[in-house]
Amino acid sequence: MRAVCTWGEGPDVLLVLDGSEVMLYHEPYHHKPPRGDSVHGYVSDGSACLTASEALKLAYQLVEAVGMCKELEEDLEYYI
């Protein structure tokens, strides 16, 4: 998976899957996944268009999520 800068009219950043598997889902009713019913599938080829601000927000959220995962892994190692 990689991100590339696009130039011209339209989105600023293109997120390219390049063979990385991503699960996409749609929630037709009930609770949101993973608790509830959903229709889902895996995509390994394709791309997503993002504005510069959307890309920055996503980058920040990814860094925050990685930090939380690292903390949980360290805590788990401590208790094992």
- What pLDDT, in 10s, does the model give residues 32-49? 656 666 677 889 999 999
Q: Where are the beta strands (DSSP E) in 1-80?
A: 2-5, 13-16, 22-26, 39-43, 47-50
Q: Is residue 28 scored above 90 in pLDDT?
A: no
Strand 22-26 to strand 39-43: parallel, antiparallel, or no bridges (unpaired)?
antiparallel
- Band (pLDDT 50/70/90 cuts) for residue 2 is very high
Entry pTM = 0.70
| Phi, psi dihedrals of residue 16, rounded to the nearest 5° | -105, 125
Q: What is the pLDDT of residue 76?
A: 84
Q: Is residue 29 scored above 70 in pLDDT?
A: no
